[in-house]
Amino acid sequence: MIVINAKNISKTYNPDKVPVHALNHVNLEIKKGEFTAIVGPSGSGKSTLLNIIGGLDVPTEGTIELGGEDISKFSDNELIDFRLKHIGFVFQAYNLIPVLTAEENVEFIMLLQKQSEKDRKARTVELLTKVGLKDQMNRRPSELSGGQQQRVAVARALASKPEFILADEPTANLDSHSTATLLDMMANMNEKEGATFVFSTHDQRVIDKARRVITLEDGKIVSDEVR
Amino acid sequence: MLLLIAWRNIWRNKRRTLITLASIGFAVFFACIMQSMQLGSYERMIENAVRFYTGHIQVHEKGYWDDKTLDNSLEVTESLQTKLSGEADLSAYVPRIESFALASHGTLTKGVLVNGIDPIKETGLTDLQGKIVEGQYLSTPGDIMIGEGLSTYLKAAPGDTLVLISQGYHGANAAGKYRIVGTLKFPTQEMSAQAAYIMLSDAQYFFNMPNRATSLALLLDNSEAVPGVKADLTSKLDTAVYEVMDWKELMPELVQSIEIDYASGRIMLYVLYAIIAFGIFGTFLMMTNERQYEFGVMLSIGMKRRLMQGMLLLEIIMLAVLGVVMGIIAASPILAYFYLNPIHVGGEMAQAYEKMGMEPILPFSLAPEVFVNQAQVVLVMTILMAIYPLWIVGKLKVIKALRS
């Protein structure tokens, strides 16, 4: 079942001055539960594509459907709501809320979703246990290592039980051990939670782990390999 | 949790928060001191004016205030006195007859303002006895006290006799002679040159108006009770016969001068607030700009803009409230001290105060509005300063913020 359907997506920055074509008529279909890596050199359009898929950016041309809904027509508020309900993000720089503890960071998403306190607490403990940080629940991001912070970020991304997890260079700031741990954990969660994972990455270790690798160059898909 | 995030956010940069709090606190502290002095001096000014002559409230025959003639005097009936005495906040009521007469001593004649008074009640309100500079206070029918200026003009001293000629109630002839028992010192030359005091019973006889008075001046326990007592009396007395006026109506020029002074004080305060406001605005801008990326992340994970603006507003309000509380806490003991121990002024200023019949002190007020006004102004100002940062958050582009 196709859950991400990008049709003829183009993105041009500075169209009136010096136009930069970040994406050029990209067509992409991703099925439910896929573990996909988008790779390519810097400036190839990986992050732009991921941002458009996640509703963080809008395409200059084309449409993007997530779970059958054309999000390119959504208003700003509708997009925020859609992201809250359906998408989990993992960023390169972890991007946890610095004033909240690991536990509160994970719980925060569920609070925005207005889940009951009981459900929130249970899900938080479950996820932090899964990412191996149950003992670090009360620590703030500044008291955690980069790898630990990224694991909290993954737990946060999964907290709302999203259908899509979008990760922009999630291992870029991690050492090899943390990268391996994080990848195993995400692969495991992909199998158990059934969420569709899409990464943008340069990291060969991530590429090796992916079951589908889409390569972008100059804003175009140049290869699409399913393993 | 929003409250928790907001609270923790303001302490992310402790030094900046403390500087912001200090600037808000300083503004409130300074404003409280200024306003306390202002209100304190107004309270004293009102109290002095009230005790100087008018009282807090006056009851007249209807129409007397616009046309001050004896024909507009009122009858001091038992019923009227009972109604006045029934007022809980009433300290005393002072009946008076005020009219003009021609006073002569030897070959000298001058127009005077004759005040028929109850000596004990009058001194209870205006401390008239304390104004005696020569002779003694009024105590016996047939006696008269006059201002120092009048005494000098008529070349009359205690022991001399003064003849008064006037027109009485309903055009009756009025003539009488009175023995000067004392001279009085007044802060204004006008009063000093015109004022003459005789017993109320003498005035009633002189003006041929038994059991009547031109006004009843009421002294209350405190000036806060004025609106209540006035409203009560207005409802109890027949307003077709009587008029009940408070000190604001009796002394509109005093109200006006207080309002003008208050307005100039407010302008100074607003200048102070404006300076502080720009400092606060700078802090808010920094708070907003350096967290654009964080706001971008919050938007991307699904936090609604309104919620984020609410969080930012909470942070701003917390800062303002903390600053206000700090300012009030710092100002309170100082104000309490000066309220109990007013600053005594010396030199020429003290003489000027005394000349006006005022104690030479700078009184402070602990009225709630000293604190409430500052809190309101700072909170409103802070919220106004917050509009721009909130607008920035409202317009923030997620992708731009994430790239910042």
The residue of B301, B307, B397 whose CB has the most chain A CBs within 10 angstroms, and thus the best one to mutate to test that interface, is B301
B326: number of Cβ within 10 Å: 18
Residues A20, A14: contact at Cβ < 8 Å?
yes
Where residue B358 falls among pLDDT bands split at 50, 70, 90?
A: low
Residue B246 lies in a domain: no
Q: Which of A224, A225, A222, A227 is nearest to A41 (CA)?
A: A222
Residue B274 pLDDT greater than 90, yes or no = no
Residue B273 lies in a domain: yes
Inspect the interface and report whether the beta carbons of A51 and B399 lie closer than 8 Å.
yes
**Do B85 and B212 sit in the same domain of this protein?**
yes
Residues 264-293 of B with CB under 8 A from A: 293
Once rounded to an integer, what is the mean pLDDT over residues B336-347? 89
- Pick B402 or A56 by higher pLDDT: A56
Q: Express each pLDDT in B162-175 by its tens digit.
A: 999 999 999 899 99
Which of B238, B263, B298 represents a domain boundary (last residue)?
Answer: B238
Q: Which two tokens stand for residue B105?
A: 């001593």
Residue B58 lies in a domain: no
**Do B271 and B327 sit in the same domain of this protein?**
yes
A111 in contact with chain B, both atoms CB, cutoff 8 A: yes
Once rounded to an integer, what is the mean pLDDT over residues A195-217? 91
**Do B233 and B258 sit in the same domain of this protein?**
no
A197 in contact with chain B, both atoms CB, cutoff 8 A: no
**Do B318 and B178 sit in the same domain of this protein?**
no
Nearest-Cα distance to chain A for B25, in Å, is: 25
Q: What is the extent of the structural domain holding B215?
A: 63-238
**Do B225 and B293 sit in the same domain of this protein?**
no
ipTM: 0.86
**Do B187 and B281 sit in the same domain of this protein?**
no
Once rounded to an integer, what is the mean pLDDT over residues A181-185? 83
**Confidence at residue B356, expressed as pLDDT on a 0 to 100 scale:** 64
Q: Express each pLDDT in B299-318 by its tens digit.
A: 988 999 999 999 999 998 89
**Do B83 and B43 sit in the same domain of this protein?**
no
Residue B127 pLDDT greater than 90, yes or no = no
**Confidence at residue B65, expressed as pLDDT on a 0 to 100 scale:** 93
Total domains, chain B: 2
Where residue B355 falls among pLDDT bands split at 50, 70, 90?
A: low
**Do B227 and B264 sit in the same domain of this protein?**
no
**Confidence at residue B61, expressed as pLDDT on a 0 to 100 scale:** 95
**Confidence at residue B213, expressed as pLDDT on a 0 to 100 scale:** 96
CB pairs under 8 A between A and B: 62
**Confidence at residue B193, expressed as pLDDT on a 0 to 100 scale:** 94
Nearest-Cα distance to chain B for A194, in Å, is: 20
Q: In whole angstroms, what is the distance from residue B11 CA to residue B108 CA?
A: 82
Where residue A125 falls among pLDDT bands split at 50, 70, 90?
A: very high
**Confidence at residue A139, expressed as pLDDT on a 0 to 100 scale:** 95
Q: Express each pLDDT in A103-120 by its tens digit.
A: 999 999 999 999 999 999
Q: Between the CA of residue A108 and those of A105, A158, A159, A160, B303, what are the distances in Å?
A: 5, 12, 9, 10, 9
Q: What is the extent of the structural domain holding A209?
A: 2-226
**Confidence at residue B153, expressed as pLDDT on a 0 to 100 scale:** 96
**Do B331 and B185 sit in the same domain of this protein?**
no
A194 in contact with chain B, both atoms CB, cutoff 8 A: no
Label residues B261-282 b or e (16+ Cβ within 10 Å = b). Answer: eeeebbeebeeebeebbebbbe
Residues A130, A161: contact at Cβ < 8 Å?
no
Residue B190 pLDDT greater than 90, yes or no = no
Inspect the interface and report whether the beta carbons of B298 and A97 lie closer than 8 Å.
yes
Q: Which of B154, B161, B141 is nearest to B203 (CA)?
A: B141
Residue B57 lies in a domain: no
Nearest-Cα distance to chain A for B325, in Å, is: 24
Nearest-Cα distance to chain A for B350, in Å, is: 58
Q: Express each pLDDT in B44-89 by its tens digit.
A: 888 888 887 889 999 999 999 999 999 999 999 999 999 998 888 9
**Do B134 and B276 sit in the same domain of this protein?**
no
Q: What is the DSSP letter of A136?
A: G
Residue A17 pLDDT greater than 90, yes or no = no
Q: Which residue of B has its CA nearest to A50?
A: B399
Residue B333 lies in a domain: yes
Residue B248 lies in a domain: no
**Do B204 and B294 sit in the same domain of this protein?**
no
**Do B30 and B74 sit in the same domain of this protein?**
no
Q: Express each pLDDT in B258-273 by its tens digit.
A: 899 889 888 888 888 8
Where residue A18 falls among pLDDT bands split at 50, 70, 90?
A: confident
Q: Which residue of B has its CA nearest to A168?
A: B402
Q: What is the DSSP letter of B343?
A: E
Residue B267 lies in a domain: yes
CATH number for the domain harbouring residue A29:
3.40.50.300
Total domains, chain A: 1
Inspect the interface and report whether the beta carbons of A80 and B399 lie closer than 8 Å.
no
Q: What is the DSSP letter of A14?
A: S
Residue A68 pLDDT greater than 80, yes or no = yes
Residue B243 lies in a domain: no
